[in-house]
Amino acid sequence: MISSNPSSIAPGAPDELGWTLDRHILERQRHIPGASGDFTGLFQSIALAGRVIASRVAKAGLADVLGATGVVNVQGETVQKLDTLANNVLVRCVEAGGHVCVMASEENDEIIPVPPAYPKGKYVLMFDPLDGSSNIDVNVSIGTIFSIHRRVTAAGPGTEADCLQAGTEQVAAGYIIYGSSTMLVYSTGDGVHGFTLDPLVGEFFLSHENIRIPARGATYSINEGNRMHWTPGVTAWIDTLKSERAPGGKPYGLRYVGTLVADFHRTLLRGGVFAYPGDRKSPDGKLRLLYECAPMAFLAEAAGGAASTGAGRVLEVVPGGLHQRVPLFIGSKDDVADAVRFVQDGAAPGT
């Protein structure tokens, strides 16, 4: 029995198969009058890319050893760096489907056109193919982040204008985390759903339906090595969280992986706050609006959380360029609100 509520379509008692990602998206599409199947097709391509990247990530250690011996592996293939490989896999999986008119990636300076041989679709795909790439060689969780918009140009090849849209215009966003298991988490704006890859079947199955971020958490996540560059507001905020003046009267715990996907995934499931603030050295922070901040902000808000640059809602920032960076405070609604108050007051509010 399928519920009429599209944010809760899984049957109460799962059958033997459970809900595959494909079926979940198809069922939701049936609720959208006039849906063409393009979105489902694009999603299938992204999920395929995720499965391929997951399989390569699982063998990264072996590949690195082979690569170090002569950059050519036993099959005579050039060993690629995993982030370049992930980028290529995504482009190759998506470009021929006819669902997108243009793509953009954190790895490419310019937009990625759809080759002339392939039809141009109505969607725009932007991605960070392998987020947390500094963690690859040390076997720590990494991920892929994606963001989907509708094209704004009329027809033909997509342009940069199709990519430079505010996050509020996203039709979907998500990430794939290559962790102790591989998970794909996505939202079309009405609920956030998580799927775990069964590596033997090679399919994502619904494991976390309708994820909600608690209004407040008990952990903060920030690179404290940058403290000497922080603004007084950020310093005062973090000092408060580490003291008995923290909400709840108990110091927050620190959790920092250094992979946005992993730090956000934990924050999404458990609550708390992740921050990559602007500081005196890098006023715009480090993270990219289009490939990192906007898609995560879309997920955070869809799960009942919040995402701010410190000055305003991340989703409302209109990008001025493909690789624009913005400060990011994201996670539990009340924790993000506190961060914004400190950042805007320049020190502890009321002190």
Shortest reach from residue 221's CB to ligand AHM, in Å: 9
Distances 221 to 102, 141, 306 between C-alpha atoms, Å: 34, 15, 15
Shortest reach from residue 76's CB to ligand AHM, in Å: 30
Residue nearest to Mg ion (CB): 131
Determine if 95 is a binding residue for Mg ion (CB under 5 A).
no
Determine if 221 is a binding residue for ligand AHM (CB under 6 A).
no
Listed in sequence order, the DSSP H helices in 96-196 are 160-163
Shortest reach from residue 281's CB to ligand AHM, in Å: 11
* Separation CA 60–CA 199 (nearest Å): 16
Q: Find out whether 144 and 127 touch, Cβ atoms under 8 Å.
A: yes
Nearest to 291 by CA among 91, 127, 49: 127
* Cross-strand pairs, 185: 175, 194
Task: Output 95 or 107, the one with its CB closest to ligand AHM.
Answer: 107
* Separation CA 101–CA 94 (nearest Å): 10
User: Rule CB under 5 A: which of 105-134 touch Mg ion?
Assistant: 128, 131
Which residues, other chains included, contact 258 with Cβ-Cβ below 8 Å and sequence gap of 6+? 132, 134, 135, 140, 223
Among 141, 259, 309, 332, binds ligand AHM (CB under 6 A): 259
* Separation CA 22–CA 317 (nearest Å): 32
Among 260, 297, 300, 314, binds ligand AHM (CB under 6 A): 260
Nearest to 262 by CA among 123, 157, 139, 107: 139
Determine if 83 is a binding residue for Mg ion (CB under 5 A).
no
Task: Output 279 or 338, the one with its CB closest to ligand AHM.
Answer: 279
Determine if 132 is a binding residue for ligand AHM (CB under 6 A).
yes
Task: Output 149 or 325, the one with its CB closest to ligand AHM.
Answer: 325
Determine if 286 is a binding residue for ligand AHM (CB under 6 A).
yes
Task: Output 145 or 206, the one with its CB closest to ligand AHM.
Answer: 145
Determine if 105 is a binding residue for ligand AHM (CB under 6 A).
no
Nearest to 148 by CA among 44, 262, 258, 26: 44
Among 45, 87, 133, 235, binds ligand AHM (CB under 6 A): 133
Q: Which residues bind Mg ion (CB under 5 A)?
A: 128, 131
Q: Which residues bind ligand AHM (CB under 6 A)?
A: 106, 128, 131-133, 223, 258-260, 263, 276, 286
